[in-house]
């Protein structure tokens, strides 16, 4: 994710800091009330829109605040929470909308799920969170895809403790 976000740059933002408002939807004074239409601002150097700000992107890997310090920035998921959310959102100040910005997901993000049984992915309380559909250039082997998508303790039925 970060490689695509940085788009060949090595700075906190993929654009000059004085041009952030042209590239990302953020909220320096906490007055915004919602996200903006996708691609309403300028893209990063590789043409990807909304990599920073607007809506945080939920990623597959496990969140570990010490991941970068340990030299392992990608941590395979072993449980449902916390997963990585990247890039900051419309509700965040600019310092939370950097290429390296990450936070961990939380069960509170889905407290108002109207479904019965509750969904592992319905995030009514997280209007600032989304996901980006991507695909690799070379399709992985079936076993590798299975391992990536079936990592972690993602509940599949309403008897799971996360549904109580």
Sketch the domain layout of the chain as residue ranges.
Answer: 1-164
Report pLDDT digits (tens) over 99-157.
Answer: 999 999 988 887 777 777 766 667 777 889 988 888 888 888 998 888 777 766 554 43
User: CA-CA distance, 2 to 102, in Å (whole number)?
Assistant: 10
User: CA-CA distance, 43 to 155, in Å (whole number)?
Assistant: 36
In whole angstroms, how large is the CA radius of gyration of the chain? 17
Q: What would the CATH number be for the domain defined by 1-164?
A: 3.90.1580.10
User: CA-CA distance, 85 to 106, in Å (whole number)?
Assistant: 10
Q: How far is CA 102 from the centre of its chain?
A: 8
Q: Supply the pTM of this predicted model.
A: 0.80
DSSP 118: P
Report pLDDT digits (tens) over 90-101.
Answer: 999 999 999 999
């Amino acid at each position: 994710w970060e490689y695509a976000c940085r788009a060949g740059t090595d700075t906190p933002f993929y654009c000059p800091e004085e041009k952030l408002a042209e590239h990302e939807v953020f909220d320096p004074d906490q007055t915004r009330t919602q996200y903006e239409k996708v691609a309403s601002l300028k893209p990063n150097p590789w043409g990807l829109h909304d990599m920073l700000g607007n809506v945080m992107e939920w990623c597959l890997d496990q969140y570990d605040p010490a991941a970068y310090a340990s030299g392992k920035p990608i941590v395979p998921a072993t449980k449902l929470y916390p997963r990585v959310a990247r890039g900051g959102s419309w509700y965040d100040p600019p310092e939370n909308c950097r290429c390296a910005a990450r936070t961990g997901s939380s069960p509170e993000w889905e407290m108002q799920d109207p479904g019965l049984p509750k969904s592992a992915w319905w995030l009514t309380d997280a209007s600032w969170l989304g996901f980006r559909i991507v695909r690799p250039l070379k399709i992985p082997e079936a076993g590798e895809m299975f391992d990536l998508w079936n990592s972690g303790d993602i509940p599949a039925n309403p008897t799971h403790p996360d549904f109580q």
